[in-house]
Homo-oligomer: A and B are copies of this chain.
C-alpha cells in the first residue's frame, strides 16, 4: 500500500498538506486538494482507517444510539443529531446515527465489536436495561437524558422540570387557575422516559404547591389526534383556560380543532408548547408561545462529554442540565373572566 510520503511526492506537496487533506484537519486550497486526491487515487492510497484504527484501538467513530424502529425522529432529535455530527467532525470524530431496538443484547454486541470508540445513548428511560449493559462494558458512554439515579455516569439533559415550572408560574401570574397538561402517546415507554416523566412530575408538584388542581391528558403525536383532542377539551374540560403542551406534533391539529369549535386562542384558551422549535410552533395559528428545546446546544455538549470520557476517563463526570429557552408566539393571554 502507498504511504502518505509517496502521495506527497506524486502531488508535489508536503506530507503535512496530505495529512490536512486526509484528516480534514485544516483548510487546503481547492486545486491543491484536487492534486492530493488525484495522487491518492492513482496510488491506491487509503487511510486504511479500520485496520490502523483497530491496531491503535480506535476507529474515531461515535455511535448515537437511537430507537428508530419504535419512534420516528422528531424535528428536535434531528437538530440534535445534526449539531452532534457537526461538533464531532470539528473534533476529528465521525458521529453516526445507529438504529437500535431497545434491547440490552444489542448494546452488548455493539460495545464488544470494537467498531466504535464511544456511545451516546438517547431516549433514556428511568430504569434502562441498556444503561446497565453499557456500565458492564468497556466502551465509554454518555447519556442524553438521565435514568432515575444517574450518579456515576456522564450525562447531559434538558431541564424540563424547570421549564414546566416557569410556564405554570407565567400562566398563574396571568390569572390562570385551570391549567391542563397534555403530553404524547400513552404507551408505557413514554411514561418511563426520563424527560417525559420529570416534566409531568414537575407539573403535578408545581400545581400542588400553587394550590391548583392538576389534570393530565395524553394525545397521539400527530395532527389528526390533535383535532380529536380539541373536541374532547370542549366537551370534558370547558373550564380550562390554559394548556401546557408537551406534544409538538399534535399542536397544529389542536389549534385547527379549537378554531372549528369556536374556541379562540389565546382569548379563551392559552397554550404554551414546551420542548419544541420556532419551526414547529409556526405551523399552528396563532404561532404558539413556546419554550425551545436546547437541542443544538445539547448535541455539542453531548459530543464533548463522550469525547472527554474517551480521552480523559479520570476527569470528573460531565453532568449538565440545560433549560429550554423562551420563544416568541401569540398563544398566551390573561385568563378570561368566566
Interface residues of A (CB under 8 A from B): 21-22, 24, 33, 37, 40-41, 45-51, 54, 59, 61, 63, 68-69, 72-73, 75, 78-79, 81-82, 85-86, 89, 94-99, 104-106, 108-109, 112-115, 136, 222-224, 227, 249, 252-253, 256, 259, 279, 282-285
Return the contact of A96 from the options B24, B98, B112 (Cβ within 8 A): B98
Given A49-B112, A50-B115, A81-B99, list of 7 further CB < 8 A pairs? A24-B105, A24-B106, A37-B105, A45-B112, A72-B79, A253-B282, A253-B283
The answer to whether B279 and A223 touch across the interface, beta carbons within 8 angstroms, is yes
A283 to B283, CA, bound (A): 8
Q: Report B-chain residues with C-beta under 8 Å of the C-beta of A54.
A: 50-51, 54
Is the pair A86, B69 in contact by a Cβ cutoff of 8 Å? yes
Which residue on B lies nearest to A88, using beta carbons? B99
Q: Smallest CB-CB separation from A98: which chain B residue?
A: B96
Known contacts A50-B59, A285-B256: A85-B69 contact under CB 8 Å: yes
For the complex, what is the distance from the CA of A191 to the CA of B26, rounded to whole Å?
Answer: 30
Complex interface: chain B residues within 8 A of A249 (CB): 279
Contact at B48–A113, with CB atoms within 8 Å? Answer: yes
Nearest B-chain residue to A116, judged by Cβ: B50
Min C-beta distance of A285 to chain B, whole Å: 4
* Whole-angstrom distance between the Cβ of A134 and the nearest chain B Cβ: 12
**Which 3 pairs show the lowest CB-CB distances between chains A and B?**
A46-B112, A49-B113, A97-B97
Copies in the complex: 2
- Knowing A96-B96, A99-B82, A282-B224, the reply to whether A113 touches B33 (Cβ < 8 A) is no
Q: A47 and B113: CB pair below 8 A? A: yes
Contact of A282 among B33, B97, B113, B223 (CB under 8 A): B223
Question: A289 to nearest B CB, angstroms?
Answer: 15
Interface centre among A45, A61, A86, A256 (most CB of B within 10 A): A256
Closest chain-B Cβ to A176's Cβ sits at a distance in Å of 26
Cβ of A110 to closest chain B Cβ, rounded Å? 8
Contact of A78 among B51, B73, B79 (CB under 8 A): B73
| 30 A-B contacts (beta carbon < 8 Å) | A21-B105, A24-B106, A33-B105, A40-B108, A46-B112, A47-B109, A47-B113, A48-B112, A49-B112, A49-B115, A50-B50, A50-B54, A50-B114, A54-B54, A63-B96, A69-B82, A72-B75, A72-B79, A73-B78, A82-B99, A94-B98, A94-B99, A95-B99, A96-B98, A96-B99, A97-B97, A223-B279, A252-B252, A252-B283, A253-B283
Chain B contacts for A33, CB-based, 8 A: 105
Chain B residues, Cβ within 8 Å of A109:
22, 47, 49
